Every structure is written in C-alpha cells, then in structure tokens.
Amino acid sequence: MEVKTKIPLLLEQSIKGRTGYTIAELDVPEVPLQELIPPAYLRVEEPRLPEVSELEVVRYFTGLSRRNHGVDVGFYPLGSCTMKYNPRVHEDMAALAGFSQIHPYQPASTVDGALEMMYELDTYLAEISGLAKSTLQPAAGAHGELAGLLIIKAFHKQNGEDQQRTEMIIPDAAHGTNPASAMMAGFSVRTVVSNKRGGVDLAALKSLLGPKTAGLMLTNPNTLGLFDENIIEIADLVHAAGGLLYYDGANANAILGIVRPGDMGFDIVHFNLHKTFSTPHGGGGPGAGPIVVKQELAPFLPYPIIEKGSNGYALVKPVHSIGRMKSFYGNFGVLVRAYAYIRTHGYPGLRAVSENAVLNANYLMHHLKEYFALPYDRLCMHEFVLSGKWQKKVGVSTLDMAKRMLDYGIHAPTIYFPLIVEEAIMVEPTETESKEVLDHFIFLMQRIAQEAIDSAESFKNAPSMTPVGRLDETRAARERVLRFSTQENS
C-alpha cells in the first residue's frame, strides 16, 4: 500500500463485475444484437470502461470539483465576466417538467407555455434595453455579436450600400470578441482610441467616420468600468455618417432599470444571460446571448421569432431574416433561468442589483487605490481597473499577484485586460457579495501589496497551496484535456 496523494483515475479503481446501477428485469423478448446491428459494425473487443460503484463515482467527481474554484466556493471578482451568485430557485424553475421534458420537435401547439415564456422574456429584454424585438437564439455573447453584425450587413445591403460600408469601428478598450466577430461578419476593423477619461476620443472617431462606415461597436459602461458621457453625441455622429450602433451588453450589471441602450442611441444590443441573468458559467457553456433590435431592424432577425396572435403564440420568419443562428430555439434552459431571474426581481429588484453592483465596485476601488495605481480615478460602474505597475517596479508582476491570490482562496481578477492599461487588474465584485467579503478582499489585497515590497521573491512559487501549481496558461487553455481518458494525463 502507498499513500495516495492524487485522485486515482476511475479506471484504476475498476473491479470486474462491480456496478453502480440496477436495471429492471427485461419484460420483452430479448433480440440478439446481431439481428439489430449488422455484424460488421459490432465491436469485437469490449470497451475499456471502469466498473465501479456509485460511491466511487460520487467521490471521484466530487474530488475533481473540489480542485476547482467556483463562486459557490469563494469570492470570484473576475472583471468583465460577472461571476455573481446564481440563486438555486432558478435551477428549480429550469428543471420543471414542463420546461425540461419537452422536445424541440413537438408541435408548437403542444408547448404554448414554453412559447409564452420565451415571448415574455423577449418583451422583458426589449423593456430593459429600450429596443423593440429580440431573438433568443444566439448561444453566447460572441454569437449574438455575429448575429447583430450580420443584421447590420443585411440592413446596408437593403439600402444598396453593403459593398461600400465595409468598416466596423471598435474602441481600443473593447472586448476581444468585438473585433473577432466583426472580422467574421466580413467587416474590416478600424480601432478608435480612448481619451484621457477612458471614453471614446471624439476627434479620433470623427476622423474615422465616413461613407465606408458600417457601424460602431461599443459597450457603455465600457470595459474600464467607465460610463461614456458623450454617448448621445457619439450616437449622433455615427448615425449622421450612415452607420448603426451596436451595444455589447455582455455586462449589463450596471444599467438594469437605470439607463437603456436604446435611449442612448443604440440600434442593436446583445445580453449575456449567463452573466447578468443568473446562469452558472465558465468552462464553455451553455449560455445565451439574445440580441434585441430597434423596430426598423426587426425584419432582419433570425428565425423563428415568437409572435402573439389571436390563437396563441406562433413561430414566425421575419421577411428579410438573415437565417438561423442556431438549431431550434437556442439554449432553452438558460432562457428559463433568465426569465425566472427577471420575474423574481421585478423592476425594483433589478434596479437594486445594479445599484449594489456599482456601490460594491466603488467601495473596493476607493479602498484599493491607496495600494495600487488607479489609471482612471473617477466614479466607476460595476467594475474598475487597477494597474500593478508600482509592484512591477519592485519585480512583482500582476501575474505573480494573481497567482498569490489563489493561495488566499480567492479567484484572481481579470488580468492584462483591457489592453490599454499596463499590468491591468480588472475587478468586478458583483452585487451578491457582502460587505464582510469585500472587506476581507481589501485586507488580502493590502497584504499582497505589502508582500510585494517586503518579499518579492516569495511570489515566484505562487500558488503553492492549490491542487496544481503555476501552469503553462497557454497550453492549459489550448490543449485542454476534458475527456475521460484511459491514459494518465501528463
């Protein structure tokens, strides 16, 4: 016997004949496999699968889950990702049989309730955004961006201007998905620089606008967590040049019930239901990135959309639809969670979400700016960006500090983004954390800043208290090993 230090693979625990299930006796005549499947397709060797008990399976997967950080484990201030707590009641709603046991091939007439839920979610998102009509199909924020950009393209095409309007203007602070989606939709990207206050530089914008302008992609508050007060002027300038305005609403946590993208002059917006509206996320989905458009653009929406008629709800194809963005109706379970979230909060609750998210971010920013450089020292919205440049001078990088935080049991903030801030540390506390948690975070951050001065070398081995040490981050992201494997992963 040896002392086990790591979780053994399930296959290593396999004992011939051990099972974790019981199946009822067969009560119909047994048909030999060879009669059902041509022998040429039947496998000759038995698959190498672990034969284990239910308890072994439970321990194995529980063990794996405990090696990871999640919002159910501790604070997760990952900026631009809105890792808020997701109330369990929404999971219960998504699991209701009327939602979870229906099939996308069922006739629409048998799922009126599901259609009603989607229709109402559509109207709520329209109300929250100040726009007219949505599609719930896109499966992620970036997918919504692509849908919105294809609509912009179709709009210009209808006006006979698609050959000419080829440029999408995007700020240098934008999320990386914005330029990627624009390229994917066939636009060329023009970058507009930010001004000293962290907003769009108006002179630079004016110099980019012209007959080639297809549109501007913006998020407000932007990825620096700052609200651009020039937004009305920006919208007027873009519209005057013949372009459309796309709002990246992935992080709507600062605006709910307070300000609406439609009122700011935007024509299209996407929401990340998995960020703002309560679906657990990370690790790649499932998510939902519905887009909402102004009335004039509704004829271009992907199909099907849901309309309310005299005989109930109907699935409709808009006249100039850009086509389908996804099979069936999108990630339906995520839609149910968002619907439940909006219904449980109501208008006052949603407004309180944003007020508290903004309050929490400003509270942290105020207490941390003594210890970390703050490039844009002004009221922030739901998140803010510090710089680790003071610590970098004494040999401790933002990456080093992020790794140290893991030893203290908190997830690191987003780092090195947005790109325009040197050694960026982007913090988003969300509204679901208590003052005690925020105070503890301030305490730890102060301690890390002090450690950087006192013992810079101690950072090099961080993290040392986590299940794995410092990883090759590129390889960990690019060569992920997510499948059950019969081989030891190196």
Ligand X SMILES: *Cc1c(COP(=O)(O)O)cnc(C)c1O
Look at phi and psi of residue 477 and say left if phi exceeds 0, alpha if psi is from -120 to 50, else beta: alpha
The answer to whether residues 326 and 285 touch, using CB atoms and an 8 Å cutoff, is no
Residue number with CB closer to ligand X (279 or 391):
279
Q: Which range of residues in 6-14, 94-102, 115-123, 247-255 is near ligand X by CB under 6 A? A: 247-255
At which residue do the structure tokens 């203290």 appear?
408
Residue number with CB closer to ligand X (85 or 390):
85
> Is residue 218 near ligand X by the rule CB under 6 A?
no
SS3 138: coil
Least Cβ distance, residue 149 to ligand X (angstroms) = 13
DSSP E strands, 280-430: 291-293, 305-309, 312-316, 384-387, 414-415, 424-427
Alpha helices in 159-212 (DSSP H): 177-184, 202-208
Residue 395: φ, ψ to 5°:
95, 10
Binder among 77, 141, 148, 388 for ligand X (CB under 6 A): 141
# residues near ligand X by CB under 6 A = 14
Q: How many residues does the chain have?
A: 490
Residue number with CB closer to ligand X (214 or 269):
269
> Is residue 248 near ligand X by the rule CB under 6 A?
yes
Binder among 129, 213, 219, 278 for ligand X (CB under 6 A): 219
> Is residue 251 near ligand X by the rule CB under 6 A?
yes
Could you count the other beta carbons within 10 Å of the beta carbon of residue 174? 22
x/- site string to ligand X, residues 98 to 137, per CB under 6 A? Answer: ----------------------------------------
β-sheet bridge partners, residue 170: 191
> Is residue 148 near ligand X by the rule CB under 6 A?
no
Residues 430-489 touching ligand X, rule: CB under 6 A, are none
CA separation for the pair 145, 107 (Å, rounded): 30
Least Cβ distance, residue 80 to ligand X (angstroms) = 4
CA separation for the pair 387, 396 (Å, rounded): 12
Residue 421 burial by Cβ neighbours in a 10 Å radius (0-12, 13-18, 19+): buried
Q: Which range of residues in 1-9, 244-252, 442-450, 479-487 is near ligand X by CB under 6 A? A: 244-252
Q: Which range of residues in 140-148, 413-421, 429-437, 444-452 is near ligand X by CB under 6 A? A: 140-148
Nearest to 175 by CA among 268, 248, 244, 234: 248
> Is residue 177 near ligand X by the rule CB under 6 A?
yes
Could you count the other beta carbons within 10 Å of the beta carbon of residue 390? 16
Residue whose beta carbon is closest to ligand X:
141
- Pairing of the two strands 312-316 and 305-309: antiparallel
Least Cβ distance, residue 191 to ligand X (angstroms) = 16
Residues 372-431 touching ligand X, rule: CB under 6 A, are none
Nearest to 404 by CA among 364, 439, 444: 444
Residue number with CB closer to ligand X (84 or 404):
84
Binder among 257, 265, 287, 304 for ligand X (CB under 6 A): 287
Binding site for ligand X (CB under 6 A): 80, 140-142, 175, 177, 219, 223, 248, 250-251, 272, 287, 289
